[in-house]
Amino acid sequence: MLTRDEIESLLDAARSETKRWGGAEPGLAHLAFALRKRWPQDFQETFGPTGQADVEALLRRGAYLGEESTVRGVLEAPTTSRRELLEELRDALNVQEAIEADHNTGPLAVATVDEHLDSLDLDDAGKSTSEPGSPSDMHNDFPEWARPFEDVLERCPTTSSAQERSNELSEALAQVHTRTRRAIFIVGAHGTGRSTFLQALAHRLAETEQTCVLVRADLEHKNADRLARALAVAPPSACVVIDDMDDLTWLDTESPARLALSLAHSVRTTRASIVCTLRPRSIGRLAILAPQFVDDSAVITLESLPIGSVERVVAAELPALARHHGVEASQELIDAAIKPRRGHEPTHHPGLALERLDAALARAKVDGRGEASVADLSRAGDHTPVHVARADLETALGERIKGQPHAISAIAKRLTLTRTGLDLRPERPNGVFLFVGPTGVGKTELAHQLARHEYGDLDHLIRLDMSEYSKDWAVSRLVGPMPGYVGSTEPESWLTTRVAKLPRCVILLDEIEKAHPGVWNIFLQVFDAGRLTDSRGTTADFRDTVMILTSNLGAREASRNAVGFGEDTGDPLRRMRNALDTHMPPEFLNRIDEIVLFQHLGMEEIVRIAQSELDSLQERLISNGWYIRIAPEVSTWLAETGYNPDFGARHLQRNIERELLAQLAEAQSKTVTVTVRDGGLRMDPA
């Protein structure tokens, strides 16, 4: 893959060719001519003996092919050598020229495509070896071109869900049977029933002796070219369904141009009917890459079904589920299943409701009950909101967090509200908390315990050290830089990508006061709307996250005693809030659910923390073959000698390492007893 400097150098060379050949900005032909001068031998081997003349012919007639963004997309493609990059450019030239000229061949036609098409028996491409529409040998209607894509979309009974889409289904059928072939885009968000819609479409097409072949989006990247070639010889009787076209053509990436344009041209020139499913944001990106292609296509949008339609579908399908399991569903269960869960689902969708009912009836059957209740929705990882006692949550968090009952109570109160689905704005995160207090009092540890308790383990914690986001350009580390800049092709580290992969998590923004104000502004949208869109146009959903911000701002003011005259009443929370108001804008603070003040830890809490640390240490050492008996007075001694109110529990941890673990590392035996003797720790063989 080219370095950033190499890409910019080649772009400059292509721009220079516009001065000789014309053009407002460089196109693929300009780049090809520039590379002919830079890499003459590789260019001739890739483009052939007439390659230079072919490129010059394009430039002379003003066929610059594409624009600067198209050129950049070719240069940023994941290639490993000059030859591979030139092959990528050669293919892109053919595709772009065919689209702009609306014909199938050009001066740079790729020989491998012709060789592939010559190997196919085109005379037999549309002949059937079985009864039309027969599901048993459906792909035999076109054995050669469909061979790589034998995953046939099976005919199935028309479901009640599809009946609620009768208008959209009729329009799709009409577009399939038009004399002028054009692509049909089925556009809908996740959960709107695109797959069900395709099944119903296949059923209706089979009634008219027309069959469907399904092309899945999990094909390898190289198979997109095979698909394009196959479409060129597809028979008129075929209906090719390209499911999740945006995934297949990489429309969600920084370099989708070549695949998207190639497929766009293939769809425009094939004799078969083409039906593609897309997400809403992807149709917009495709319109930018190939505007004429989208304008010439039919777009059918699947909106979320209204609640009445969902209820009718569930009522029609539920008897079959009940007969299958031999279990009835209570009305409360039906109502709860139809109600949307928090997270990435549309407002109402019958397929998701039926999935929940299916699982709930199966659980009741396993338990030997004749009726399933609403309690059966919340088992085995199903995260449907159920009532959680606030006291239970406080107890669970208090087992590890000592000396902060007010903080734990504030967290439990808010999370109990959101987990029962009673918050007024469910589109926001489950909670946005600002933890303020001195160092070492449990702010970060409480975030860790929330990740374990709410989501299972620490793998569901995303921690960002905001001192690393103190510059204005650090915003790009959250949502990615603009296309073409360093890091634009490496989205794995962006916050949007991490949340998209792990939507249920705790996000810890440590020392938020050190972040640049531009970074604060990015989080305003997250706190208020529960979503964030990156530079690729991909939107991450934060509705199932818990946002925790930590800060030391105001900790000193909150802990000091009130002195002198003025409005200061001695309320530490008010003094802390005054310090926050001085450093942070009101629109930022106004989007925080709870500002939680953490108190200094007293000696009693430090002793309890010391005992908890020793218990955890013993468990870990036992697993490593140690047997250690620790006397009760050891925890008190470690707390007293390791207590510093300015450093909190972290100073205690350093004391345990220095006084206990350092001696243990030099012990001659793995079976020891630890006691306090003569003002220090004594370690003896057990």
Per residue in 57-81, pLDDT (tens digit) is: 888 878 888 788 878 878 877 766 8
Q: Provide the residue type at 315 as one letter.
A: A
**One domain, residues 11 and 55:** yes
Domain end position, chosen among 45, 74, 103: 103
- 3-state SS class at 212: strand
CB of 590 closer than 8 Å to CB of 576:
no
> Stretch 115-144: mean pLDDT, rounded?
36
Same domain, 329 and 349: yes
Q: Could you tell me if residue 421 is inside a domain?
A: yes
pLDDT category of residue 547 using cuts at 50, 70 and 90: very high
Number of other residues whose CB lies within 10 A of the CB of residue 219: 17
Residue 651 in tokens: 């100073």
Is 398:408 a contact under the CB 8 Å cutoff?
Answer: yes
* Two structure tokens written together for 404: 């902060």
**Ranked by mean pLDDT, which of 85-99, 202-216, 413-427, 518-532 comes out on top?**
518-532
**How many domains in the chain?**
5
Whether residue 186 is found in the same domain as residue 40: no
Which residues on adjacent β-strands are paired with residue 214?
Answer: 241
Predicted confidence (pLDDT) per residue in 195-233, tens digit: 778 878 877 777 776 656 655 544 444 455 566 666 766
Indicate which CATH number applies to the domain containing 372: 1.10.8
For 397-411, what is the mean pLDDT? 85
Rg (CA), the chain: 32
3-state secondary structure (DSSP) of residue 147: helix
pLDDT of the residue at 154: 42
Q: Indicate if the pLDDT at residue 567 is higher than 70.
A: no
Distance CA 179, CA 664 (A): 84
Of 255, 279, 302, the last residue of a domain is 302
Nearest to 266 by CA among 99, 116, 88, 106: 99
- Residues 477 and 611 placed together within one structural domain of the fold: no
Contact 681, 659 (CB under 8 A): yes
Task: Report pTM.
Answer: 0.52
Q: Do 461 and 508 contact (CB within 8 A), yes or no?
A: yes
Q: What is the DSSP letter of 566?
A: S
Task: Report the candidate in 355, 376, 364, 261 with the shortest Cα–Cα distance to residue 310.
Answer: 355
Residue 657 pLDDT exceeds 80: yes
| Residue 286 contacts residue 293 (beta carbons within 8 Å) | yes
Are 443 and 527 found together in one domain? Answer: yes
What is the DSSP-derived secondary structure letter of residue 481? P
The whole-number pLDDT of residue 469 equals 93
Domain assignment present for 244: yes
Same domain, 360 and 291: no
Q: What residue type is assigned to position 35 of the chain?
A: L
671: in domain: yes
Q: What 3-state class would DSSP assign to 285?
A: helix
CATH number for the domain including 633?
1.10.8.60
Is residue 256 over pLDDT 60? no
443 in a domain, yes or no?
yes
For residues 77 and 83, which has the higher predicted lDDT (pLDDT)? 83
- pLDDT on residue 407: 87
> Over 70: is that where the pLDDT of 381 sits?
no
Average pLDDT over residues 84-98: 70
Domain end (from 321, 345, 377):
377
Predicted confidence (pLDDT) per residue in 440-491, tens digit? 788 888 999 888 888 878 888 999 999 999 998 888 889 888 766 777 667 7
Q: Which two tokens stand for residue 560?
A: 């000091």
Going 555 to 560 to 564 to 568, the CA torsion angle's sign is: positive
Q: Are strands 671-677 and 680-685 parallel, antiparallel or unpaired?
A: antiparallel
With 70 as the cut, is the pLDDT of residue 193 above it? yes
Count of CB atoms situated within 10 Å of the CB of 15: 17
For residue 371, count other CB atoms closer than 10 A to its CB: 13
pLDDT of the residue at 388: 52
Q: Is the pLDDT of residue 260 over 80?
A: no
Q: Give which of 488, 441, 364 is closest to 651, Cα–Cα.
A: 441
Q: How far apart are the first and last CA of the chain?
A: 62
> Average pLDDT in the 639-656 region?
77
Over 409-450, what HEC string results?
Answer: HHHHHHHHHHHCCCCCCCCCCCEEEEEECCCCCCHHHHHHHH
DSSP 351-417: HHHHHHHHHHHHHHHHTT-SEE-GGGGGSTT--------HHHHHHHHHTT--S-HHHHHHHHHHHHH
247 lies in the same domain as 154 = yes
**Predicted confidence (pLDDT) at residue 287 exceeds the cutoff of 60:** yes
- Alpha carbons 71 and 11: distance in angstroms, whole number: 8
CA 681/CA 213 separation, integer angstroms: 76
Let me know: does 342 contact 304? Beta carbons within 8 Å. no
In a domain, 141, yes or no: no
Interatomic CA distance for residues 237 and 241, integer angstroms: 13
Amino acid (one-letter) located at 92: A
Q: Which of 478, 468, 493 is nearest to 542 (CA)?
A: 478
For residues 194 and 266, membership in a common domain is answered with yes
User: Is 312 domain-assigned?
Assistant: yes
Cβ(340)–Cβ(307) below 8 Å: no
**DSSP-based helix, strand, coil % in the chain, nearest 5:** 50, 10, 35
For residues 223 and 329, membership in a common domain is answered with no
Q: Other CB atoms closer than 10 Å to residue 509's CB: what's the count?
A: 23
Is 640 in the same domain as 542? no
Domain match, 203 and 336 both: no
73-86 residues labelled b (16+ CB within 10 A) or e (exposed): bbbbbebeebeebb
612 has pLDDT over 90: no
Instruction: For residues 473 and 486, give the distance between their C-alpha atoms in angstroms, rounded to a whole number.
Output: 12
Cα torsion through 156, 161, 167, 168, rounded to 10:
-70
Inter-residue contact 432 to 592 (CB < 8 Å): yes
The answer to whether 526 and 566 are in contact (CB under 8 A) is no
Percent of the chain whose pLDDT exceeds 90: 13
3-state secondary structure of 681: strand
Cβ-contact 427, 543 below 8 angstroms: yes
Q: Please say if the pLDDT value at position 419 is more than 90.
A: no
Same domain, 412 and 499: yes
- State the residue range of the domain holding 278: 147-302
Instruction: Decide if 383 is inside a domain.
Output: no
CATH number of the domain to which 517 belongs: 3.40.50.300
Q: Is residue 130 part of a domain?
A: no
